[in-house]
Structure 1
């Protein structure tokens, strides 16, 4: 025990050791002196590749007037389209590229994207990359290499806990003990900005799973490309974060700085891509002007005014008061609903203020219909979060009037590309294949990185009853009355309200809102989702059971009542059931069959843990 204590103290001491001012300056000089200065292109436009996507920005600015702005908006549902758009835009940059992201991995997608950014810097484009610390690149050597890569390339890390780029488990324990709030305050914003005329934002990070490239688990996500004058507001937000006190040049961080002081700037190459043919194919596609026009540019919608809402970095100051702009904007829009709210969030955990909002909506004389698209236990990458949502399903359905649809792990008609995953022998419905036991998401890929070490394996996807590449919902979108559409980074959860900084694009345009609504409605179709509804009442003592369950639900802990109010239902089409129905429709039970609380899940330890966190996890809600 004494030896363990000595080890912990030694680790704590090393974690707290920082560079002196002189060492920090020396590390910065080493990085600066090593940066390449050669530019491969002397042309004023940096030998940029012509791009119809980038031209949308120039066209929108030319068509805009002071009182009548013009924008073009393009939904990016397919992961391959989202990657294609990014590569094409980077190659079209003539002056600047700014990247703000939560996760930047060292896998095929991350390496490809970084290669493209460095190539742009090499031809004369000013490139800046801002990444949150807990989900930044995995290796200190990689970060040290990037610190000295090129004079046109800069990288900063946001909110580096303990002044480091990377922290180990013992350092995490120390950070949790000394700085729990700081550890949880993360930059969740996501932006790609090209030349100040085109911007991309939404749910996607830079990791295989966001582009259908992971052989085990991928996210069904959504981005939005915006071209036009409001990109200036995105630029201004990026500048705020780039210059924020919590954004540190990577070479100034203790672990990166020590690496530079010890051995200089390392030469780090990522080696061969895991699937080089897949990388080569998307790279060729990004150069194909006709393909980009057909798959992307031709689908962009002309819209009028666009509103970009972003939390300021000051949200992470102790002195910050009030409701953050992203949260305030979303609540105002929902409050304005008259007919319908379509809400898509991967993690259905609501803050007390959000619960009050939906309760008030439900109490209106003509309350709007509230349709929610979220994850099932089988699909989610955050089962603790699902367990807390599971605890409050009665409240969501009965008190707030939600119609909840939970995304399936093997959707049959979603905007995904199974072939791109590189998976072989994918199990289809009806093929009983034992779970391989390797369905895991690395800690870097989790939405809740601050909790990644709290319980070993606690946020890995649960084991399923059959094998195959699975998909989980990650899109964060909102449609109100099919007149306003929102795509952003906010999960409409307490973490987004209080800890993370978030952003969103709001477009009041009926055509755009209908397209976004159609995308969400596709995700909740029976091929892609289960419907959640009240389970059949027991033949006796149903009122007593309901009352006991409701009392148990309101307990912050010890919610151990075994029978829950709701369960999952599968649509069974037939002559009498030609189309899916709302759970409120009188004919619902004739067309839907209950399939259990956790369909597709291998009822093992994780199912038991879900029950446990349902009972004891209510106290975690404020940080979920």
Structure 2
């Protein structure tokens, strides 16, 4: 959507919320005003998933391996597949998984799809024909009344629900047969796996086996059974919907082949059971078994009023507060507010070397978020942090992009290492939205061996040929220092590589007082 349309929409939603109450779809909760905050707080305490134990972990930094791991889990599943995502794009990745999940259901696997309602999922995934499959259940979290026409997909809040309108189920979890789980940063879309024709992002997932799978399954179950989840009404499925299921199979298969051909078929569209088991065996054999803490926000977080920090943030805060020597972090949307800046300042004051990589204006997928990052640059540098922004034409982008032609590179990673022993991978961005608004998941792994793997990946992003280091000139202005492809040192006085249109949009966003929503 163009900038002027987004600005108009924002103003329109606020006006509509102030002027009246709108009808709600069946199954939606009453307005926040009718629910006791004490009751909500109690439910949040009861439903926050925080499990500790020992389990096996491997990181998935390459989009191809991350795609194949997911595909192999779906193809090898014999009993159940639980799939929880914020974004499910209408592209090669989204269509391939719609096709293979349908195939899994055809062979008897019970499939549950749980999607956030504020972002449109692929039409085939939303279709009544898919929901008509006896082995597939599709549910949407946080449903509200939807606008129609030009505003389709943008929920109108009733009075008292502006906060809830902003809330998103940002979780990304895939669980197969209760034995393996993939979690982390990637949504289901080409850009997160390096095969989009216009823009791709380096991202990060974990795959795990052992008791941590039970923790992830408990979180999924809490969302699945939540009153905030709208389940398809099986009694309303018609014979016509069931008849359309056969047509849907053929349509998805044709669409998958057409999209893949157009993209150059960078990834397999299916795997045999033998290929799937071999893929998973190779990944599982690399796993490091270590103590962990799995943390997931409760679904009732959507109904909290006021700024109540996520339990995931509290674990991150504790890890940084206890740091003794070193913190290396990738945060795709790094917008630290006052308390976070104080936390970082205290760490650097006691001698901790803190390094943070985030997106640049040229690399980021959302210019609004970049305005928040830019507005915090001074505070981050003043806190003593070594601050870096991703080079959209990084030398290592060929490691993450699997298209015929290299595209600009962004980042969607959420991970860090503390003192070479504690690692975090999850869906949590270091921004106000993750801290106060969205629901998120994350895992903390206590292992020097795993930390060494993750830190190597993180440090690669900080190399001068892959990122711009932000410093200050004598007059207080910002400098971007990096390395050109020919090896020469480069210094820029304005955000490097951004187009004029991005600049204009960026400048407008920087003037708007909405950092708390970024």
Into which bin does the TM-score normalised by the smaller protein fall? 0.7 to 0.9
1:283 equivalenced with 2:270 (yes/no): yes
Decide whether the 8 Å contact of 1:342 with 1:517 is kept in 2.
yes
Corresponding residue number in structure 1 for 2:316: 330
User: Residue 141 and residue 217 in structure 1: after superposition, are their counterparts in 2 closer, same or farther (change >3 A)?
Assistant: closer
Decide whether the 8 Å contact of 1:489 with 1:504 is kept in 2.
yes
1:348 equivalenced with 2:316 (yes/no): no
**What does 1:126-525 correspond to in 2, within 5 Å?**
126-139=110-123, 142-148=126-132, 150-162=133-145, 168-170=149-151, 175=156, 178=159, 179-251=161-233, 264=241, 266=244, 267-268=247-248, 269-270=251-252, 271-272=254-255, 273=257, 274-276=259-261, 278=265, 281=268, 283-284=270-271, 287-288=274-275, 292=279, 296-298=283-285, 300-318=286-304, 322-362=308-348, 364=349, 366-398=350-382, 400-414=383-397, 416-418=399-401, 420-423=402-405, 426=406, 469-525=407-463
Decide whether the 8 Å contact of 2:76 with 2:273 is kept in 1.
no
User: Residue 487 and residue 371 in structure 1: after superposition, are their counterparts in 2 closer, same or farther (change >3 A)?
Assistant: same
User: Residue 140 and residue 592 in structure 1: after superposition, are their counterparts in 2 closer, same or farther (change >3 A)?
Assistant: closer
Stretches of structure 2 that go unaligned for 5 or more consecutive residues are 1-11, 29-51
Secondary structure of the corresponding residue to residue 399 of structure 2: coil
Q: Please report how far the alpha carbon of residue 597 of structure 1 lies from its aligned counterpart in structure 2 after TM superposition.
A: 2.0
How many residues are paired up?
A: 469
1:569 equivalenced with 2:463 (yes/no): no
Secondary structure of the corresponding residue to residue 275 of structure 1: helix
Equivalent in 592, 595, 598 of residue 495 of structure 2: 598
Q: Deviations over 1:300-354 (max 9, x none)?
A: 2322212111111111123698432111111111111111111211112113332
Provide the TM-score with structure 2 as the length reference. Answer: 0.82
User: Residue 69 and residue 605 in structure 1: after superposition, are their counterparts in 2 closer, same or farther (change >3 A)?
Assistant: closer
Q: Please report how far the alpha carbon of residue 291 of structure 1 lies from its aligned counterpart in structure 2 after TM superposition.
A: 6.4
Decide whether the 8 Å contact of 1:285 with 1:291 is kept in 2.
no
Matches of 2:294 and 2:435 in 1, distance apart?
Answer: 17
User: Residue 70 and residue 390 in structure 1: after superposition, are their counterparts in 2 closer, same or farther (change >3 A)?
Assistant: closer
Matches of 1:252 and 1:186 in 2, distance apart?
Answer: 26
Corresponding residue number in structure 2 for 1:621: 515
Provide the TM-score with structure 1 as the length reference. Answer: 0.69
Decide whether the 8 Å contact of 1:84 with 1:282 is kept in 2.
no
User: Residue 571 and residue 412 in structure 1: after superposition, are their counterparts in 2 closer, same or farther (change >3 A)?
Assistant: closer
Corresponding residue number in structure 2 for 1:119: 103
Q: Please report how far the alpha carbon of residue 174 of structure 1 lies from its aligned counterpart in structure 2 after TM superposition.
A: 6.8
Secondary structure of the corresponding residue to residue 130 of structure 2: helix
Matches of 2:415 and 2:66 in 1, distance apart?
Answer: 16
Matches of 2:344 and 2:94 in 1, distance apart?
Answer: 39
Q: Please report how far the alpha carbon of residue 503 of structure 1 lies from its aligned counterpart in structure 2 after TM superposition.
A: 0.8
User: Residue 393 and residue 206 in structure 1: after superposition, are their counterparts in 2 closer, same or farther (change >3 A)?
Assistant: same
Matches of 2:491 and 2:172 in 1, distance apart?
Answer: 39
Matches of 2:403 and 2:157 in 1, distance apart?
Answer: 36
Matches of 1:198 and 1:152 in 2, distance apart?
Answer: 20
Q: Please report how far the alpha carbon of residue 414 of structure 1 lies from its aligned counterpart in structure 2 after TM superposition.
A: 4.2
Q: Deviations over 1:171-222 (max 9, x none)?
A: 6677157542121111001111111121100101111111112111112101
Q: Which moved more, 1:203-212 or 1:350-359?
A: 350-359
Q: Which has the higher contact order (CA 8 A, sep 6+)?
A: 2
Matches of 1:173 and 1:281 in 2, distance apart?
Answer: 34
Corresponding residue number in structure 1 for 2:89: 105
Q: Please report how far the alpha carbon of residue 404 of structure 1 lies from its aligned counterpart in structure 2 after TM superposition.
A: 1.2
Secondary structure of the corresponding residue to residue 270 of structure 2: helix
Greater Cα radius of gyration, structure 1 or 2: 1
User: Residue 78 and residue 285 in structure 1: after superposition, are their counterparts in 2 closer, same or farther (change >3 A)?
Assistant: farther
User: Residue 69 and residue 138 in structure 1: after superposition, are their counterparts in 2 closer, same or farther (change >3 A)?
Assistant: closer
Q: Please report how far the alpha carbon of residue 484 of structure 1 lies from its aligned counterpart in structure 2 after TM superposition.
A: 0.2
Q: Deviations over 1:123-163 (max 9, x none)?
A: 12211110001224243884222211x2111110011121x
Which structure shows the bigger proportion of residues in strand conformation?
Answer: 2
User: Residue 570 and residue 295 in structure 1: after superposition, are their counterparts in 2 closer, same or farther (change >3 A)?
Assistant: farther
Secondary structure of the corresponding residue to residue 135 of structure 1: coil
Corresponding residue number in structure 1 for 2:504: 608
Q: Please report how far the alpha carbon of residue 290 of structure 1 lies from its aligned counterpart in structure 2 after TM superposition.
A: 8.9
Q: Deviations over 1:11-39 (max 9, x none)?
A: x9998374699xxxxxxxxxxxxxxxxxx
Corresponding residue number in structure 1 for 2:466: 528
Secondary structure of the corresponding residue to residue 327 of structure 2: strand
User: Residue 180 and residue 290 in structure 1: after superposition, are their counterparts in 2 closer, same or farther (change >3 A)?
Assistant: closer
Q: Deviations over 1:377-426 (max 9, x none)?
A: 1000111211222122121112x1111111111222247343x3244xx5
What is the RMSD computed on CA atoms of the aligned residues? Answer: 3.3
Q: Which moved more, 1:604-613 or 1:501-510?
A: 604-613
Stretches of structure 1 that go unaligned for 5 or more consecutive residues are 22-67, 427-468, 539-545, 547-564, 578-590
